[in-house]
Structure formats: C-alpha cells, structure tokens
Amino acid sequence: MAAYPSQPKPFALALLLMASLVVAVAGKFNQDVDITWGDGRGKAFDNGNLIALSLDKASGSGFQSKNQYLFGKFDMQLKLVPGNSAGTVTTFYFHSQGSTWDEIDFEFLGNLSGEPFIVHTNVYTQGKGNREQQFYLWFDPTADFHTYSILWDPVHIVFYIDGRPIREFKNMESIGVPYPKSQPMRMYASLWNADDWATRGGLVKTDWTQAPFTASFRNFKTKACIWFKGASSCSNSTNNQWFSQELDSISHKQLKWVQKNYMIYNYCKDTKRFSQGLPQECTVINKN
Ligand SMILES: *[C@@H]1O[C@H](CO)[C@@H](O)[C@H](O)[C@H]1NC(C)=O
Ligand SMILES: *[C@@H]1O[C@H](CO)[C@@H](O)[C@H](O)[C@H]1NC(C)=O
C-alpha cells in the first residue's frame, strides 16, 4: 500500500475568496435540518448538535436540510452503524426536485462485524445516474466520527473523506455531458434497510436480532449559495473566482492514492455493463 501523501491544505484559498459571497452556517444542527421520517427513530442529542438515526424492522429514518443550495462546500461528520450492519445503508446526499432531477450521493453499505463497509458514490444529471464509483475505507468508520464532504461548483463535483478527495466529476458540458448547475438541491440523510442489494450484492441479509441499528451525524457545515425564492445568495456577486478552483497537485496525488488503493468499482471501467460503449464522460475520466 502506498504511503499516504502529505496533509492537504483544504480550500484555504477557496474559502478566503468565498468568504464574502456565501452564507456560512455553523448554527445548531437541528435548527438547520428537519427530521422528516421515521416516526421518532431520528433524534437530536447533545443540545441539538448531534442527530442519531435508527432503523428497526418496521422503519428507518431520515432528515433533510431546511435550505436549498445551488453550489457550495458541505461537510458532515458521520459515525456509521457499529457491529453487524449488514443490509443497512446510511446516506448523505443532495437531491433536486422533479423528474429530471440532479443528485450527488454518498451511501455507506454496511457489512458483517469486521468486514469492510463500501462507500458508494454516484452523480445524477437530469434524472440519469449510472455513474457509480465504490471504495473501501482506510479506517474503521464505526469507531469514530469522520468528515465526508461534497464540493459542488460550476467546474466540478468533488467527494472528500477527511479532507482527501476520493472522486472528481468534472463539468464536461463541452463534450455534451449534462452537468448539475441550475437546479437547487437539498441535503438529505437517512438510514434504511437495503438487504436486497447492499451487502455482497444482497447475499447477506439484515440480522434483525441486532436492531435497532444506529448511525450518528454531527457538524453539518456549509459554505454555500442558498437558494431562496428563485434567487441565489451568491447571484449578485461579481467575484466568482472560487467557482473555478481546480484541484491542486497535492489533491491530485491524494485522489490517485485513494483510487489506486481503495477503489473497488468504477463504472467507467465496466465494459461488460456498458457493452454498447462506455458513457461519454469516461473518455475524460479514464484519462485522469
Ligand atoms: C463485505 O465483506 C465482503 C467480504 O470481505 C466483501 O466482499 C464486501 O465487499 C464487503 N462489503 C459489502 C458492502 O458487501
Ligand atoms: C441582489 O440584488 C437585488 C436587486 O438589486 C436585491 O434586491 C437583493 O437583495 C440582492 N441580494 C443579495 C443577496 O445581495
């Protein structure tokens, strides 16, 4: 396994440039989100700063952001379901409305005790996904909180774990690939049962004798353009330089390190599935 490259300097410049344009939120977690389903299975603790979602045989649970966003950097700290979590899926994702929605997904597929979780990522544009990349983790995601981030700007979408980029989806409109840039999205989080597909492709079922299963969320941090009544909180700004930040060379190294050592599935390599030809963007993605 490759040695881990030196520490990132995450977004220092970008944040500086963004500072005056975007609305930074560090309020109480449970005031920024609504627990929307699960009939009491989602609960706030620690003075409203931590939300625990639980799942039992009858139902899972979930919450969503009050705000809608059009671009931003979003951090969430998660501690995943400990012990035997096979069959469970914990999610942290962004989603717009309507039948041609855009979506950016982090999903965490549970496993038997001691077996690795899978981090499943996907990007939907105009209602179409099929852009999965999956990873193992380089730590035990159930022992502690770790930070999972999504950067979404007009240039690219970047998935980060503890500040290290694991996936970049570039704006490839120039070669005809739709890019999410005009539909505001809300943040969603959930814990649910997906034992028909989640663990070893559905072979390992949820063990309900272990229920309730619990995943914890805290420190939802946003530096984002908030969408309100048809306008963006960033729309009056002329200083949009943070929108065009590319990954620097350190981030590129980190991305390569994760992809080389921990990526277990990449749709752009799946010529069996796409026997009629890989999606158009794969020409760019496979070059990187
Ligand atoms: C669960 O563990 C098995 C065996 O190590 C592994 O093949 C699989 O990728 C792991 N993760 C999931 C979510 O199935
Ligand atoms: C943007 O400009 C419009 C019209 O000049 C103004 O009404 C609105 O308050 C401004 N929004 C922000 C976020 O500055």
Q: Which domain holds residue 94?
A: 23-285
Q: Is residue 49 part of a domain?
A: yes
Q: Is the pLDDT of residue 189 over 80?
A: yes
Q: What is the pLDDT of residue 79?
A: 98
Q: Is residue 131 part of a domain?
A: yes
Give the distance (Å) from ligand 1 centre to CA of residue 116: 6
- pLDDT tens-digit series, residues 64-112: 999 999 999 999 999 999 999 999 999 999 999 999 999 999 999 999 9
Q: pLDDT (tens digit, 9 = 90+) per residue, 111-165? A: 999 999 999 999 999 999 999 999 999 999 999 999 999 999 999 999 999 999 9
Cα-to-centroid distance, 199 and ligand 1 (Å)? 6
When pLDDT is averaged across residues 264-277 and rounded to a whole number, the result is 97
Which residues are part of the catalytic machinery?
103, 107
Three-state SS across the chain? CCCCCCCCCCCHHHHHHHCCCCEEECCCHHHHEEEEECCCCEEEEHHHCEEEEEECCCCCEEEEECCEEEEEEEEEEEECCCCCCCCEEEEEEEECCCCCCCEEEEEEECCCCCCCCEEEEEEEECCECCCCEEECCCCCCCCCCEEEEEEECCCEEEEEECCEEEEEEECCHHHCCCCCCCCCEEEEEEEEECCCCCCHHHCCCCCHHHCCEEEEEEEEEEEEEEEECCEECCCCCCCCHHHHCCCCHHHHHHHHHHHHHHEEEEHHHCCCCCCCCCCCCHHHHCCC
The overall pTM is greater than 0.75: yes
Ligand 2 atom having least distance to the Cα of 236: 1
Query: Minimum-distance ligand to the CA of 201?
Result: 1
Q: How many structural domains is the chain composed of?
A: 1
Average pLDDT, the chain: 90
Q: Is residue 16 part of a domain?
A: no
Q: Answer yes or no: is pLDDT of 14 > 60.
A: no
Mean pLDDT value of segment 47-61: 97
**Protein residue closest via CA to atom 6 of ligand 1:** 200
Does residue 10 have a pLDDT over 90? Answer: no
The reply to whether 259 falls in a domain is yes
pLDDT at 16 over 90: no
Residue 265: inside a domain:
yes
**10 lies in some domain:** no
pLDDT band for position 245 (cuts 50, 70, 90)? confident
Whether 220 is in a domain gets the answer yes
Q: Is the CB of 6 under 6 A from ligand 2?
A: no
Nearest CA to ligand 2 atom 14: 236
The string of pLDDT tens digits covering residues 193-232 is: 999 999 999 999 999 999 999 999 999 999 899 999 999 8
1 assigned to some structural domain: no
Q: Residue 57 sits in a domain of what CATH number? A: 2.60.120.200
